[in-house]
Amino acid sequence: MIQDNELTEDARRRIVARVGDWFDEHRRDLPWRRSTPWGVMVSEFMLQQTPVSRVLGPWQEWMERWPAPDDLASEQAGAAVAAWGRLGYPRRAQRLHRAATVISEQHAGRVPGTLEELRALPGVGQYTAAAILSFAFGGRAVVLDTNIRRLLCRVEDGREFPPDSATASEWRRAEDWLPDTDERAAHWAAASMELGALVCTARSPRCEDCPVKDSCRWRAAGYPRHDGPPRRTQAWHGTDRQCRGVLLDLVRQNPEGVTVEVALGAWAERVQAERSLAGLLADALVRDDGGLLRL
């Protein structure tokens, strides 16, 4: 059992190897793992704040309709929003459409393969760029999502949960864990994320099934409960987000158009509905076409 204040490079290497071996045996057969760089990119946009189970169907439908960036770029952004369905956070569909347009116009229709080029695409931040580089191109990049942050926090810090948002020290620590070669780094990124998603989960971790349980400081400490600030949870019922979703879904299901009054009548709180509709119009998620709301 590891007891030093800081894990040694050799200890990290052993943990990385064990997690990799576990991944080779237990990895899920997710369709984007055998897709094109564009398919990986679409999955990364869809998986932001959305579980895998809800993404599988929409991803397949999206790729059948738009198998390449040029295909999506050739249509209006409203088509992307309509196809986004109930995935939530529909601005992601807008950003993905804008990214496809940039890829079509500036990269000959091919998803670029460097961090700098990926970061320059609309809607692609630090994590998404690293994930695309790693999962689509097998490149070496620090991929740090919620699952990996939780895994490293438990194994190395002996704490149940990391801070709500990734800190600079977490990014530096993740760099220390990253293997030297492209292939091994990409394998670690996928393996550590999978272990966090399937075993080292937030609510019901399956510690007895964990390949690194004997090296986990949280387990060694007796699983101490989180003692930091209360963890934030995202409200939904009765919020503007829910109201926007209801109004947007109404417009999505009526491509011939919906009057403003019909749309506002779909929500019980008139003032909230007006505020939410104004936001949808301002974000260009819906448009007022001569008194009819359309995508």
Model confidence over 37-46: pLDDT tens digits? 999 999 999 9
The amino acid that residue 28 corresponds to is: R
Mean local confidence (pLDDT), 229-252: 78
Per-chain mean pLDDT for the chain: 92
The answer to whether residue 22 sits within a structural domain is: no
CA distance 169 to 162: 11
The answer to whether residue 250 sits within a structural domain is: yes
Active site residues: 44
Q: Could you identify the residue written with the tokens 């998803």?
A: 111
Edge to edge, the sheet with strand 287-289 lists 258-259, 292-294, 287-289
The answer to whether residue 261 sits within a structural domain is: yes
Encoded tokens for 288: 């007022």
The answer to whether residue 277 sits within a structural domain is: yes
CA distance 243 to 228: 32
Q: Which domain holds residue 248?
A: 240-294
Decide if pLDDT at 85 tops 90: no
Q: Which of 118, 119, 174, 172 is nearest to 145 (CA)?
A: 174
The answer to whether residue 218 sits within a structural domain is: no
CB atoms within 10 A of CB 53: 7
Residue 289 phi, psi (nearest 5): -105, 85
CB atoms within 10 A of CB 140: 21
CB atoms within 10 A of CB 212: 22
Q: Which pLDDT value is given to residue 231?
A: 61
Label residues 237-246 b or e (16+ Cβ within 10 Å = b): eeeebebbbe
77 Cβ contact partners less than 8 Å away, ≥ 6 residues apart: 93, 94, 97, 98, 284
Reported as a pLDDT band with limits 50, 70 and 90, residue 255 is confident
The CATH code of the domain that includes 252 is: 1.10.10.10
Reported as a pLDDT band with limits 50, 70 and 90, residue 237 is confident
The answer to whether residue 181 sits within a structural domain is: no
Q: Write the DSSP symbol of residue 232.
A: P
Instruction: Give the chain's domain count.
Output: 1
Q: Which of 285, 295, 254 is nearest to 89 (CA)?
A: 285
Summarised one tens digit per residue, pLDDT across range 151-183 is 999 999 999 999 988 999 999 999 999 999 999
The answer to whether residue 169 sits within a structural domain is: no
Reported as a pLDDT band with limits 50, 70 and 90, residue 1 is very low
The amino acid that residue 244 corresponds to is: R
The answer to whether residue 267 sits within a structural domain is: yes
